[in-house]
Amino acid sequence: MKQRGTYMKTRVTKLLGIEHPVIQGGMQWVSKAELASAVSEAGGLGILTALTQPGPEDLVKEIRRMRAMTVKPFGVNLTLLPTLKPVPYMDYVEAMISENIRIVETAGRSPEEFMPRFLDAGITVIHKCTSVRHAVKAQKIGCAAASVDGFECAGHPGEDDIPGLVLLPLAADALSIPIIASGGFADGRGLAAALSLGADGINMGTRFLATKEAPVHDNVKKALVDADERKSALILRTLKNSARIYKNSVADEILALEGRGTITIEELAPLVSGARGRTVYETGDIEAGVWSAGMVAGLIRDIPTVRDLVTRIVREAEDIIANRLKNMIG
């Protein structure tokens, strides 16, 4: 192991007080204390997902569980997207503040209405977004970093369909705050590429789903190892709320219904419901509902521990930068 102080340093490691520029994505039903604490303990930034908890009081309990597992920095994700049932977002925000959370990741839509509360509490807000214009707005309203999510990503890629290779340098040109590259990252090649494109770190969801510590059934992890890069589907395009999920029989059913033309969320709800998707993670029946997975599944070939994964990624990126790329010069 390297000695402390010799780690790769970026604006993101400095901003967040972490050792490695690797952040774990806010995954609904997955980003619980088991996974997030393992990522923080490995020197990255673990993130709990607020809406995975049924209510704000459960989030408080989860934050306390997390603190019993790690003393290292971690964050809480608050996803602001359409939901089948109303969500008391401000109550979740107050729960985070009451627990003295220092880092929040917002996603889905502008966090503007919550920013005064976050900033008053001295919270570092990372906003995850899928376009340069939204990242610029995030900077303007006081976010400390932008997590820029390319079209490759799992979950909600927005409606512009711009992959990271174009989105990241455009964001780097437009922003002065640090950038976290999100969507399509799984290895050291991706980390080195992200840094080259102007980002200061990477965010990974799907890759962390296939780790020993991810609190989901082994069948889900095995499905990711078996999947190639074509094994994701984009649903809810017709409702302008696109979501990239694992391409199973439920995804095919949804796509067939959407392909017929106008369809309402009420008609799709029994298929797309997150509560149903949750049973996939719990029971291991990967056909039981929808579950998020990115194109990056094609790059996932093993189920390592979080520590082994983070160490491998950072070492590989350092090797690429210090040797492969350097040797090309001169």
- Residues forming the site for ligand NAD (CB under 6 A): 26-28, 51, 79, 81-84, 107, 155-156, 236, 239, 241, 243, 265, 272-275, 277, 292
Q: Tokens 């807000």, residue?
A: 125
Nearer to ligand NAD, 4 or 260 (CB): 260
Expressed in angstroms, the distance from the first to the final Cα of the chain is 31
- The sheet with strand 145-149 has its strands ordered as 22-24, 201-204, 179-182, 145-149, 124-129, 103-107, 74-79, 46-49
DSSP state of 183: S
Q: Which residue has the tokens 């977004």?
A: 129
Token pair of 212 as six digits? 């020993």
Closest to ligand NAD by CB, 40 or 292: 292
Q: Residue 151 CB, nearest distance to ligand NAD (Å)?
A: 13
Q: How far is the CB of 30 from ligand NAD (least distance, A)?
A: 9
At closest approach, how far in Å is the CB of 107 from ligand NAD? 6
Name the minimum Å distance from CB 265 to ligand NAD.
4
Residue (185 or 188) nearer to ligand NAD, CB: 185
Neighbour tally for 273: CB within 10 Å: 14
Among all chains, which residue has been given the structure tokens 């010799």? 6
CB of residue 8 to ligand NAD, shortest distance in Å? 26
Nearer to ligand NAD, 32 or 317 (CB): 32
Nearer to ligand NAD among residue 10 and residue 211 (C-beta) = 211
Inter-residue contact 213 to 305 (CB < 8 Å) = yes
